[in-house]
Structure 1
Amino acid sequence: MASPLPLQTISTDTWVEATWEAFLTFADDPVLASGRFYYDQGYMRIEMSPLGAAHGQDNTVLSTLVNLYAAVKMLSIKGFTNTTFRKAKVRESQPDLAFYVGQGLKLPPYNNAPVNLDECDPPTLVIEIAASSLEDECDRQQRLYQHLGVREYWVVNVNTGQVFATALSNADGTKIRESQVLPGLGIDLVEKALRRSRTEEDGAISRWLLNVFSELGSAQ
């Protein structure tokens, strides 16, 4: 399907006005498969910037951390990386990491189609790793995830290792320093793991996390 306008004429890494149909011509174009796409009630954002080692490393550490914590705490969890979540004709997002946490959730089927949020529950926790787009991630995209029904949203500043966590509801967002969907997990610990990962290999980080999580469990 041909795009109505060449990508070169569209401003990337910012929100621009667009119809749902125009957005789909970009989002579903296999030539742009390396891009990331967001849509929220008449506005789209296309991110075509290359992702470097820092982004990929933080992504890996955070995925490991969340899954290990859930395993130690016996929480039901299902994670997705760079997956498209679509509310047809209204909203779409492609977060770095998304997790379904808890029992009784309607999970996406195993296929390569965008996750249809008219048929599945939205993810419980969404994590975005940001550099130059930090302000947008904490503002416009936070509202997008709020409208999608996500319960908790983390934005990671890849340059500093800071994590901005927000508990989301239909009405607003509340800044938090302890996860509500992963009870007992402090955001300070998440930031410490990111800092340690700058100088330590993944196995060492995983072993350290397991020890910390086990100690947290025994202290309760």
Structure 2
Amino acid sequence: MISSSSSAVQQNLVTDTWIKAPWEEFIALADNPAYEKGKFFYHHGYMRIEMAAVGPLHARENSIVSSVVKMFATLRNIRIVELNNATFRQRGVGEFQPDLSYYIGAEFQLPPRTNSPINLNEFQSPALVIEIGASSVNDDLGMKRLIYERVGVREYWVVDASADDAIAFSISDGRSGEIQESLVLPGLTLSLVEEALQRSQSEDDGAITRWLLQSFS
């Protein structure tokens, strides 16, 4: 539990769970330098602040998934930009800070290079969002999925770091459905992502990269 001084929400702030809070108090916390290492989410009057340290399991899974996505897009000549732990904000509606997010395709306009949250009232949401977790997987599949449905993300992946599983959802018209092959990166299957994660248990990055190059050729 983290204590602050001004509001009831701040004085009774519990991290890593959803608590009821007005948007203005959420923004005050999100913009507070004392919480700069936290990850912030807001949806329908509830906020979640994640302050858990990131260990090697999460970091390794993050790296492997990132490599798979970017290598596939590169070899398929698909325009792509990756953002790591970027904050996206739709004022008065919601905020999210996924592990990985991607703008994909020929038409996107990349937000400016600043340290301010990306304003979704001015810029489109990323095409693909990926959350990597172990203890947080149920939340990733639940409330966070609702956030991404609402803000116009086109595809959402949840990676269970403890099981090397990947679940993907295509999102359209505010609703999501499970898919086995990416629609924003056509031809990339979730089974290949899972195999890359499993290989990372015993193989180094060079070996995995060579295997990916062979698989994508």
After TM superposition, the score normalised by the length of structure 2 is 0.94
Q: Which deviations, in whole Å up to 9, do the C-alpha atoms of 1:121-155 show, x marking residues without a partner? A: 10000000011111110011001001110000000
Cα separation, 1, equivalents of 2:156 and 2:143? 12
Amino acid aligned to 1:89: G
CA RMSD of aligned residues (A): 1.5
1:151 to 134, 137, 154: 154
Determine if contact 2:62/2:132 at 8 Å carries over to the other structure.
Answer: yes
- In structure 1, list runs of 5 or more residues that go unmatched: 215-220
Q: How many residues align?
A: 214
Residue 24 of structure 1 and its aligned partner are, at CA, apart by 1.2
> Structure 2: where are the runs of 5+ without partners?
none
Stretch moving more, 101-110 or 180-189: 101-110
Aligned to 2:37: 34
CA–CA distance in 2 between the matches of 1:66 and 1:186? 11
- Pairs within 5 Å for 1:29-178: 29-178=32-181
**Maintained 8 Å contact 1:128/1:154:** yes
Following TM superposition, the consecutive aligned residue runs of length 4 or more in structure 1 with deviations greater than 6 angstroms are none
> Conserved in 1, the CA contact under 8 Å of 2:150 and 2:174?
no
3-state SS of the aligned residue for 1:55? helix
TM-score (norm 1): 0.93
Distance 2:6 2:131 in 1: 27
Deviation at 1:11, TM superposition (A): 2.2
Structure 2 CA distance for aligned equivalents of residues 107 and 40 of structure 1: 24
- Shift of the 22–132 alpha-carbon distance from structure 1 to 2, 3 Å rule, reads same
Q: 1:205-216 residue pairs with structure 2 within 5 A?
A: 205-214=208-217
Which residue is equivalent to 1:218? none
Amino acid at match of 1:137: D
For the Cα contact (< 8 Å) 1:2–1:25, is it kept in 2? no
| 1:113 maps to amino acid | S
What secondary structure sits across from 1:57 in the alignment?
helix
| Percent identity between the two aligned chains | 45
